[in-house]
């Protein structure tokens, strides 16, 4: 069984994908991490995020980078959003993601274009969403706990900017697949969202 989980930043898609992977004992790939690693590798090499050739070279990042906690930062997310708009970067990472999706036994992948581009034949496609305000509040709580002093307004502005960039790009934009099931987590806590996700998968598979 292949489960595709797509949605915008801080929608809860990562948490839901991990929970589904645990529930069905499937391997899980957080595809955002790949783009975050490209952005990080590029910045470490002193490159410019808008330079497509340099971003393509950064796709050959060392896999050890995927375990770097710095990849989880907002700055890494913003850098990922920029490099992920380059068609050559997306093309360079497609096969790796498809191979993961098509391994025997299935897999859970979360990202922006899993149901539309990476695994259009996925058995179940979830599109996880929540209002920008709710997502910013979650990020703000999470970041404050981690010691950040970034304001709620700044986080909300960043989320809106990232949504805009991810939805407006020409190649593989963030878009709900026609056959995706929508899960709005705006008014659900983590446990309720996970239960709802399992429910949707059970109904569809």
84 or 185: CB nearest ligand C5P? 84
d(CA 107, CA 123): 10
Residue 181's nearest CA partner among 164, 163, 199 is 199
Residue 45 CB, nearest distance to ligand C5P (Å)? 19
The count of chain residues that interact with ligand C5P, using the rule CB under 6 A, is 14
Determine, following the binding rule CB under 6 A, whether residue 9 of this chain makes contact with ligand C5P: yes
Q: In a 3-state reduction of DSSP, which class is residue 13?
A: helix
d(CA 73, CA 46): 19
Q: What tokens were used for 123?
A: 């058995």
27 or 199: CB nearest ligand C5P? 27
d(CA 94, CA 89): 9
Residue 86 CB, nearest distance to ligand C5P (Å)? 10
Determine, following the binding rule CB under 6 A, whether residue 12 of this chain makes contact with ligand C5P: no
Do residues 98 and 118 touch, judged by C-beta distance below 8 A? yes
Residue 33-72 contact track with ligand C5P, rule CB under 6 A, x = bound: --xx------------------------------------
Residue 73-112 contact track with ligand C5P, rule CB under 6 A, x = bound: ----x--xx--x--------------------------xx
Q: In a 3-state reduction of DSSP, which class is residue 126?
A: strand
Determine, following the binding rule CB under 6 A, whether residue 162 of this chain makes contact with ligand C5P: yes
Q: Give the list of residues 6+ apart from residue 179 with CB closer than 8 angstroms, or none.
A: 115, 125
Q: What tokens were used for 7?
A: 């949605």
Residues that bind ligand C5P (CB under 6 A): 9, 31-32, 35-36, 77, 80-81, 84, 111-113, 162, 166
Which residues are documented as binding site for ATP?
A: 7-15
């Amino acid at each position: 069984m292949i489960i595709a989980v797509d949605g915008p930043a801080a929608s809860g898609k990562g948490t839901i994908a991990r929970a589904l992977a645990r529930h069905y004992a499937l391997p899980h790939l957080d595809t955002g991490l790949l783009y975050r690693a490209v952005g990080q590798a590029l910045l470490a090499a002193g490159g410019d995020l808008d330079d497509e050739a340099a971003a393509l070279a950064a796709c050959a990042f060392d896999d050890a980078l995927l375990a770097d906690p710095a990849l989880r930062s907002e700055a890494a997310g913003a850098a990922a959003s920029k490099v992920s708009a380059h068609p050559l970067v997306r093309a360079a990472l497609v096969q790796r993601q498809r191979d993961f999706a098509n391994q025997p036994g299935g897999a859970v992948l979360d990202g922006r274009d899993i149901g539309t581009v990476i695994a259009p034949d996925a058995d179940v496609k979830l599109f996880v969403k929540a209002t920008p305000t709710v997502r910013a509040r979650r990020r703000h709580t999470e970041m404050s706990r981690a010691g950040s002093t970034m304001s709620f307004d700044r986080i909300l502005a960043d989320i809106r900017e990232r949504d805009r960039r991810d939805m407006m790009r020409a190649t593989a934009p963030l878009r709900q697949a026609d056959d995706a099931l929508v899960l709005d987590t705006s008014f659900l806590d983590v446990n309720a969202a996970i239960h709802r996700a399992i429910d949707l998968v059970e109904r569809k598979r």
